[in-house]
Amino acid sequence: MSVDIVVPEVGESIVDARVSKWLKQEGDAVNAGEPLVELETDKIDVEVSAPKAGVLESIAHGDGADVKIGEVLGTIREDGTKGTKGTKGTKGAKGAEDSEDANGTKDADETEARGREEEPKAAEHAAAAGEGQEPDEGERAASDRKAEPAGRSTGEPAATPSARRMARARDVELREVRAEGPRVTRRDVERSLEAGDTPAPAREARADRAPAAAKEARAVRAPEPGDRTETRERMSKRRATIARRLVEAQQTAAMLTTFNEVDMRAVMALRARHKARFKERYGTSLGIASFFVKATVAALRDFPRLNAEIDGDEMVLKHYYDIGIAVAAAEGLVVPVLRDADRMSFADIEGGIRDFAAKARDGKLTLDDLRGGTFSITNGGVFGSLMSTPILNPPQVGILGLHAIKDRPVGIDGQVVLRPMMYTALTYDHRIVDGAEAVQFLVRIRELVEDPATLLIES
């Protein structure tokens, strides 16, 4: 009996996906609940697991194929016998059955008996996984080796999709990476590369096994004089979606950007006084983001149309404050949301941003992390940006851009002094936000950040 492997529903707004990589090949034995294939969507990456134990009978859509929700990715044969690979496997197996002799029948019977003996073990493994009792790395590796056909044992540990992609890109053997949790994460791979834990011979052996064409494609050669080589690279689903949404934002909204600058001396002095105690007490650093989140919430209360969206000929004013924080991920910018930011402490905000950054790095952001948002903040200053014009994140009508802090000469009380200054930028939808409101909003942000004690009262 064959069981279909289908593209699962991963969210209301997601209707398609792309096959990133099959973790098993046709003919491989699989356990119930074992990851089979990685899918890439415009928001998150997901792994599709085996619905039943058996043999991966066929793959309908290979790596790089675009698929719809509910579409069949492949099939699993439950009887535990291994047929010929591909869609022609049934016909090939039938021909073999017609021509087999008594010895062949006996071998098939013995194979089927062995399959029946292994089914209780697979069921126990699946039950343990269902109860949240994930086997340790040693047990998982042993189970994987049992599930592999003779002569095909990879010993590759469980890993997140982003970790697998980085390992392939950097030519790292996942079995050589030390995982801090039950699965190897992108951070584990990065840590292994930084520490030099992955032995060079392992990487070289892997490269030797790769086809010559693949090795040549990976080779990085210094450009020769007059070299005009070009390469083409397909956009990821997330990058293509980001590109489409940015163009849509420019085509549908009347975007305008206004600028101001903030003297960061008071905030930096406050952080210097309290950062050690803050880190000791809350386990996270005191950054500048929490000050601007607090100031933004206070300013949005004064200028509510910046915390709204347009629905036809109506303005939908939001009386709650879900602040999106732009975070750089491997596949492009994502904007997870701090929900009810007006009720969050400085520690809550800093901890939330830290967790978002870790999830984005490891490819673990969920749809709930990204859904909604009434206003966004993006900090290009972490990359050294001095000034920029942020693009709206529809259907929001406002986004605040933060930039690098630089010592600049400013005039104070008739004297020129050096101060740590930051340019701020507010992009807004001019259809419902007037220029005066936008300017006053940024001035309010500046007033609150330059006197951070008022944030205790205003936010």
Active site members: 430, 434
At 190 the three-state DSSP class reads: helix
Buried b (16+ CB within 10 A) or exposed e, 56-91: bbbbebeeeeebeeeeebbbbbbbbebbbbeeebee
Rounded Cα gap, residues 435 and 338, in angstroms: 27
Start-to-end CA distance of the chain, whole Å, equals: 62
What is the CB neighbour count within 10 angstroms for residue 199? 11
Torsion region of 400: left, alpha or beta (phi above 0 gives left; psi -120 to 50 gives alpha): beta
DSSP codes of every residue in 73-92: EEEEETT-----SSTTHHHH
* Helix or strand holding residue 361 (H, E): helix 346-362
* Omega within 30 of 0 (cis) for the link into 395: yes
Name the 3-class secondary structure at 317. Answer: strand
Integer CA distances (angstroms), 362 to 52, 181, 338, in order: 28, 12, 19
CA 7 vs CA 14, 105, 162, 184: distances in Å: 11, 37, 19, 24
Phi, then psi, of 292 in degrees rounded to 5: -75, -30
Residue 162: partners with Cβ closer than 8 Å, 6 or more residues away: 45, 185, 186, 330, 361, 362, 363
